[in-house]
Structure formats: structure tokens, C-alpha cells
Amino acid sequence: MEETALQSVTFGYIISALICGGLLGFILQRGRFCMNTAFRDTIFIKEFTLFRGFLIALGVMIVGSNLLNDMGIIELKPQTFYPLANIIGGFLFGVGMVLASGCGSGIYFKAGEGQIAAGIAVIGFLIGAGATFYGVLNPIYNALRSVRLEIAGKPNATLWEIFGQDMTVKWIVIAVVAVAIFVFILKDKPFSLGKQKGFYWSVSGLLIGFTGILTFWASQYWGGGFARGMNFTTPSAEFISTIITGSANSRFFPMAAIGPFKITWGVLAMISVPLGSYISAKILKEFAWKIPSAQELLIVFLGSLLMGFSGITAGGCNIGQGLTGVSTLSIGSISALIAMILGNWTAVYFRFIKPMQD
């Protein structure tokens, strides 16, 4: 397997990754921000609060990251549109979220606050991602990603490029999206900050959005010149590869040598998410070891294996595609996110809604 070039590790490389990941984990825990819950609640109990928080984060990232891109501070790289991989992978990831009782980011922050089921889910996620990117499931991954579709003459077309190629068209599209999000979130009174133990939903959304922009910048400036932003699936595969072989074996992202290991910036950011969550949980006195039943652990493990496979296949998880990817307005990322939501709703219906109706 061909690897990316190895760069020298610096203090900034390490500390920027730890800060970005730790900050994300802190905010996720403090806001109880799990996108499995956000998607699930819209169909299960007709509750849109967390979903509106997700939309705030997305709107902030779309506007902020594209501003930095157009100012030449970062370089956004929209993903290629692989229709089968994006849609099938995204749909299965949505199903896996429901079975694992958490999204890609959710299982990491919940593990940091002592939930044993989430810890098991992280292990399954790592195994599924590693097996898909580097191991036995890789042929399925390659087959699904063998189909590539060009739109507007480009394999990695963005939403605005459907309507035109100039910056005016781009920012009109971004403005329309931002206004639509703003109008939708107003229905849940985002400025009426209630008294509560953690972050209010709109505050969580804003902070996650700003953390996403920070991570775009930090990953490019300190992490080797590639603005990879927030993501969990590829770093999970890189992490398990590092544990087994001593190298992340990255084909896309810059690696650095830390002791005997060749690791990526994204791996360091990812493994610091549970630490940030742990710090938040300890401050709020919410850290506690929670041990579920054996049956629940088995379902969670199988669901997380599915998430690992499907997240890599789709090109990212709820964060990697749903926020980081969609903020570039990539058609592939938007397709993957829509498929994740539909997969989540399908699994919620068959696992929760239909049994209640029967």
C-alpha cells in the first residue's frame, strides 16, 4: 500500500490536534449532542431541538469554512461523488447508529463519560473501519466506490456548481441555505437561553460549528497542509492500523513519526475527544461507569461494526460527511447525509415505532 510522505512532528502538530479533539469532546458532552438522537427524535417523538442544533453547526461551518477558503487561508477539498458508496454506505450508517445507540462522535464522547456500551461501540467501530479500509471488507468498499458520477463536468462537484461556476452564484447558494436554516431554527427560540446544567442546544450548535472551522484551519496549518477537519471514520481506521502495524498507512493525509509510530493529525484529534468529554463529565459530576445487559452490548457491538464499515464506504460519518463534508457543499457529502438520515429513520421505525404499533 502506498503511503503519504512522512513529515517531522512538531509541538504545534501535537497540541493543536489535542486541543481541537478535546474541545469537541467537551462541547459534545456538555451539550449532550448526539446526532443519532437528533435524527431519531424528529420521527420518533416529533422533537426537533437537537436537529436544529445540528443545523446551526452546519450553517456556521458552511459560511465560515467557505469564507476562509475564498480568503486563501484554507483549501477546502470537496469529496468525489460515488453514488453507490455514498448512498448505500450512508443508509447503512444511519441503521448502524440506531443499533449502536450513538453516532460516530456520540460513541466517543459517551465512552469518555463512563458508558461501557459506548466503549464497546468504539471498539466495534475501530474494527469495522479498519477491516473496510485495510482488510477483509476492502473489496466491497472498492466495488461500491468503483462507480463515480460527474456533475457539471466534475467528479467532485458542489451544490453551487450545478447553477454556475462563479463566486456570485456560490455565495447566493450559501446565502439561501443559511437563511433557510435560520428561519427553521427560529421556531425553537435559539436566543432564549434556558437555565440548565449543560449547554443550551443553540449554544452547542454554535460551538460545534466554530470548532469545525478551527479544526479545518488547524489541520491544514499544523497538520501537514491538508484541511481534513473533524472526522471519525478514517482516523479510526488509521488508529487501528497504527496499533497493529505501527503505521497509520494513510493514503490521503500527511503522517508524522511519534516515537516508533507513524500517525496522522486526525488520529491525535480523535483520541482526545473522550478525554475532553471526561473532563466535562467530571466537572458536571456526570461521570459514572454504566454497565448494560449482555444483549444490549451485543446489539451495540454489531451496530458499531456496521457503522465502521458503512462510514468508511460512505466517505465519512455523521461528522465527517454530515458536517465537515457538507460544509464544502459536495454533492457526494450531501447525498451521504440524506442517506444517513433515511437509514436512521428506517431503523427507528422498525426497532421502536412498529413494535409499539403492534
Which residues does 239 contact at the CB level (< 8 Å), separation at least 6?
Answer: 126, 248, 267, 270, 271
Residues 189-214 pLDDT 10s:
888 876 778 999 999 999 999 999 99
Is 229 a member of any domain?
A: yes
Reported pTM: 0.96
Q: What pLDDT, on the 0 to 100 scale, is given for residue 290?
A: 96
Residue 154: how many CB atoms within 10 A of its CB? Answer: 14
Classify the C-alpha dihedral 287-290-296-301 as positive or negative. positive
Question: 295: buried, middle or exposed (CB in 10 Å: 19+, 13-18, 0-12)?
Answer: exposed
Contact indicator for 256, 13 with CB cutoff of 8 Å = yes
Which residues does 212 contact at the CB level (< 8 Å), separation at least 6?
Answer: 57, 60, 61, 64, 65, 229, 230, 323, 324, 327
Q: What pLDDT, on the 0 to 100 scale, is given for residue 180?
A: 97
- Integer Cα distance of 278 and 63 in angstroms: 31
Q: What pLDDT, on the 0 to 100 scale, is given for residue 252?
A: 84
Is 1 a member of any domain?
A: no
DSSP 8-state assignment for residue 5: P
Give the number of domains in the chain. 1
Unique residue bearing C-alpha cell 468503483: 146
- Across the chain, the runs of DSSP E, i.e. the strands, are 6-7, 255-258, 261-264
Is 41 a member of any domain?
A: yes
> What is the amino acid identity at position 147?
V
Classify the C-alpha dihedral 131-269-251-145 as positive or negative. positive
Is 160 a member of any domain?
A: yes
Q: Which domain holds residue 155?
A: 6-357
Would strands 6-7 and 261-264 be described as parallel, antiparallel, or unpaired? unpaired
CA 125 to mean position of chain CA atoms? 13
Give, in order, the Cα–Cα distances in Å from 173 to each of 56, 152, 160, 323.
17, 16, 6, 17
Is 93 a member of any domain?
A: yes
- Integer Cα distance of 239 and 114 in angstroms: 21
> Looking at the DSSP assignment, which residues form a beta bridge with residue 258?
261
Which residues does 183 contact at the CB level (< 8 Å), separation at least 6?
Answer: none
Is 227 a member of any domain?
A: yes
Low-confidence ranges of the chain (pLDDT < 50): none
Q: Give which of 15, 339, 21 is closest to 208, Cα–Cα.
A: 21
Contact indicator for 73, 327 with CB cutoff of 8 Å = no
Q: What pLDDT, on the 0 to 100 scale, is given for residue 251?
A: 82
CA 182 to mean position of chain CA atoms? 22
Residue 246 gets the label, from left (phi > 0), alpha (psi -120 to 50) or beta, of left
Residues 100-110 pLDDT 10s:
999 999 999 99
Q: What pLDDT, on the 0 to 100 scale, is given for residue 4?
A: 66
Is 112 a member of any domain?
A: yes
DSSP 8-state assignment for residue 79: P
Q: What pLDDT, on the 0 to 100 scale, is given for residue 3?
A: 62
CA 314 to mean position of chain CA atoms? 11
Q: What pLDDT, on the 0 to 100 scale, is given for residue 223?
A: 92
- Integer Cα distance of 204 and 28 in angstroms: 7
CA 330 to mean position of chain CA atoms? 15
- Integer Cα distance of 352 and 149 in angstroms: 36
Is 308 a member of any domain?
A: yes
